[in-house]
Amino acid sequence: MSPMTNDTGCLTVVYGNISNRTPNDHQYGSKATPSGLSWLTRISIALDVARTLSYLHLHMTSDVMHRDIKPSNILIDQKMHVKLSNFGLSKLHPNNEEYTPLMTYIKGTQGYPDPEYFQTHRLTGRTDVYSFCVVVLELIVGMKSLEIITGWRRFEGEDEDEEREPTQCTRS
């Protein structure tokens, strides 16, 4: 990855060739195989993303909140190493002891943002962690997040469009 400026003076990030695309391509798209990604590869992808988020949240002078962690923003190089992409929605938050969540408009892709973020409009590191956990669930199950939610609702015998209270989310 190397930053460059173009004729307009805009900063641009240029990635090298990412030949293996994204986890989605391997699970559902052009590189999909009947068995999908091996378990070892899935675990490796999850660990690489976890390390990247740890670095962004804990080891920089300002915390970087990505706000759009999802499989299509995870690029895989020739050696199956992960590159996190699409920082267009990201926010910086100064590192300090008195951590105050950022108030913000809700951004992100349906099926991945943290429910607390939807309710409070407060952005914290937990927002990215929640999205990461959804990605890990997708890697394990081999289904997209919205397919998992729809499948669970069908299993429960519910109308897929029906809204329900959080207290009604347990089986009796």
Q: For residues 13 and 16, what is the distance between their CA atoms, to the nearest angstrom?
A: 10
Domain tally, the chain: 1
What separation in angstroms does the CA of 87 have from each of 42, 62, 132? Answer: 23, 15, 15
Task: Compute the average pLDDT of residues 86-96.
Answer: 76
Domain extent at residue 125: 17-90+100-160
Q: What is the pLDDT of residue 18?
A: 73
Strand partners, 11: 5
Q: What digits encode the pLDDT tens for the residues 108-143?
A: 778 888 888 878 888 777 889 999 999 999 898 887
Q: What is the pLDDT of residue 13?
A: 62
Question: Could you say which DSSP state residue 142 is in?
Answer: -
The predicted model scores a pTM of 0.72
Q: What digits encode the pLDDT tens for the residues 66-79?
A: 889 999 999 988 88
Q: What is the pLDDT of residue 59?
A: 84
Q: What is the pLDDT of residue 168?
A: 42
**Half-sphere exposure in the Cβ direction for 2 (13 Å, CA):** 4
- For the domain that residue 152 is a member of, what is the CATH number? 1.10.510.10
Active site residues per annotation: 68
> Is residue 95 included in any domain, yes or no?
no
Tokens 């052009």, residue? 30
